Amino acid sequence: MTGEAPGEAPGEVMAARALCKTFGATQALLDVSLGLVPGAVHALAGANGSGKSTLIKIMSGVFGPDSGQLLVDGVPQEWSSPMDSRAAGVGVVHQEAPLVDTLKVADCVALLGGFEGVPALGLSHRALVRRAQRLLDEHEVPVDARTTCAELGPADRAMVSLAVATGQGSRILILDEVTASLRQDDAEQVLGLVRRLADRGTAVLMVTHRIGEITQYADRLTVLASGRTQYDGPSADVTAARIVEYMLPEQRLATEQVVRADEKPAHREEAAVSGPNLMEIRGLTGNRLNPLDLDIRAGEIVGVTGLPDSGVDELPYLLAGGVPPHSGSVQVRGFEPARTWTASTARRQGVALLPRDRLSHGGVAVLSIADNIALPSLRRFWHRRAALREAIGRVVRELDVRPRNPSASLGSLSGGNQQKVLLGKWLSTDPKVLVLDEPTNGVDPGARLLMFEAVRRRVDRGMGAVLFSSEFEQLTAHCDRMVVLRPGAAAEEIPVPDNPVKLARIVASPQEDGPR
């Protein structure tokens, strides 16, 4: 292990010491140690399957270690449930905020334990709203407690969850990839609150795959790989390249190549050679999308981004037929314009969608890797079991899915491996157009590179792809054309900027500002 020796550090409010955990033949953790200090943000990083989830489950009382110690204020703990960890002052915030859409924010705060007292026990609803609003205001969360949770944006949902966790009296916050599904601007809002909580004395453990979040917001860093500690020390002492080296010590890809997974490949020039139109979008509108005209050509990746309320969040599902358009049409090469554009029509005409919510809309957790890959191709492989097995094996090999056992359930895989399976599922259908909505949420750098290489190989063979991403580095690295959506304005097609900072400025500036 590189970094500081895991001795007993002064001021640690929580510490893991030489934790080991085994599941069957899998060594999930081996001699892992780290310490959390009040007032500091401690990042926990690692590739998918590195042991991060196992570690935070031990630290939050879901299960205990096979050996080693967990200490709070220097006192060894033997928790039997998450209730024990909450009683010790540990709060956990997950990627999906546990808010009930039909309830008001104030009701959710009370329901989730943000403070004691509910109307049935003598606290009036008006008083409940006041207390909830006070909690939100104390945390500088710009939300009205009388708002229905369904009306909250992604950043607000995450910040309300953080406020609830600290409102329970948590001295220690464990953040399980709370920004993984957020756009970059939303993530910055949430991380600003995380930083403020730390500055007020909370000890924060932040699980993240995003290297920029580590370098910008974390004070300390622990990196795991294959259940072992690769680095434990100040985050300022390591570069982005070194962090990736620690995350992927046995990765077959060269580290420099992985680090540059979100930089423009040298062989992709601005003037990409593209083929005929595969999809023609004319006058397409939605709840927020202004009339859009756009062609998707063979042999290119078109990047789409935009500000909130521009329709950028609904457009992937309009293109794939998951959301009915208000007006306009989508026509796929070789087909007449459909009278109604539905998901089944889109699928039949060769349009595939990799959605941002991998399990709610992308895959079936209880089914195996093999079954998930096979689902959209059952007709194609009917009575051709050998061909189906080969297609499944090809996905597992090409995208380096772990474990390599096709019988393993999708739900048992890490988030990154789930996403690789779902990408492979759609690539194996040989789509004409592949729509990707935030495809690398919660995916480590090595897996990102494998995914984009697989997409690029299909694009080079004539597929068209549309990439929706809030990560500007990703868009400038992998796209051949760019479209920027803005609220209340027409879409603007632009050449791909040579760096993400330029793209961020273009997205943030009004269209009528003139040449840039």
| Co-location of 217 and 201 in the same domain | yes
Q: Which domain holds residue 486?
A: 255-350+431-516
Per-residue confidence (pLDDT) for residue 6, from 0 to 100: 47
pLDDT above 70 as % of the chain? 89
Q: What is the DSSP string of 36-98?
A: E-TT-EEEEEE-TTSSHHHHHHHHTTSS--SEEEEEETTEE---SSHHHHHHTTEEEEESS--
| Co-location of 179 and 244 in the same domain | yes
pLDDT above 90 as % of the chain? 61
Task: Name the domain boundary from 250, 285, 305.
Answer: 250
**Is 407 a domain residue?**
yes
What proportions of the chain, in percent to the nearest 5, are helix, strand and coil?
35, 25, 40
pLDDT, tens digit (0-9, with 9 covering 90-100), for 463-484: 999 999 988 889 999 999 999 9
Mean pLDDT throughout 54-68? 96
Task: Name the domain boundary from 425, 447, 472.
Answer: 425
Do 209 and 474 touch, CB atoms closer than 8 A?
no
Per-residue confidence (pLDDT) for residue 120, from 0 to 100: 46
pLDDT, tens digit (0-9, with 9 covering 90-100), for 183-209: 778 889 999 999 999 999 999 999 988
Do 79 and 249 touch, CB atoms closer than 8 A?
no
pLDDT, tens digit (0-9, with 9 covering 90-100), for 231-264: 999 999 998 888 878 887 754 344 444 545 555 5
**Is 478 a domain residue?**
yes
**Is 359 a domain residue?**
no
| Co-location of 9 and 113 in the same domain | no
Which amino acid appears at position 108 of this protein? C
pLDDT at 3 exceeding the cut of 70: no
**Is 162 a domain residue?**
no
pLDDT at 140 exceeding the cut of 50: yes
3-class secondary structure for 196-240?
Answer: HHHHCCCEEEEECCCHHHHHHHCCEEEEEECCEEEEEEEHHHCCH
| Co-location of 187 and 285 in the same domain | no
Per-residue confidence (pLDDT) for residue 79, from 0 to 100: 94
| Co-location of 104 and 85 in the same domain | no
| Co-location of 265 and 238 in the same domain | no
| Co-location of 177 and 58 in the same domain | yes
CATH number at residue 342: 3.40.50.300
Report the candidate in 3, 6, 27 with the shortest Cα–Cα distance to residue 18: 6
Please state the domain count of the chain.
Answer: 4
| Co-location of 319 and 343 in the same domain | yes
**Is 335 a domain residue?**
yes
First to last CA, the chain: 48
What lies within 8 Å, CB to CB, of 172 at 6+ separation is 13, 14, 36, 72, 88, 89, 90, 91, 202, 203, 204, 205
**Is 374 a domain residue?**
yes
Per-residue confidence (pLDDT) for residue 265, from 0 to 100: 54
Per-residue confidence (pLDDT) for residue 4, from 0 to 100: 54
Residue 323 class from Cβ within 10 Å (0-12 exposed, 13-18 middle, 19+ buried)? Answer: middle
Which residue is listed with tokens 């969040």?
313
In which band, very low, low, confident or very high, does the pLDDT at 350 lie, cut at 50, 70 and 90? very high
**Is 337 a domain residue?**
yes
Which amino acid appears at position 392 of this protein? I
**What is the chain's mean pLDDT, rounded?**
87
**Is 244 a domain residue?**
yes
| Co-location of 328 and 435 in the same domain | yes
pLDDT at 346 exceeding the cut of 70: yes
| Co-location of 240 and 378 in the same domain | no
| Co-location of 64 and 187 in the same domain | yes
pTM for this predicted structure: 0.67
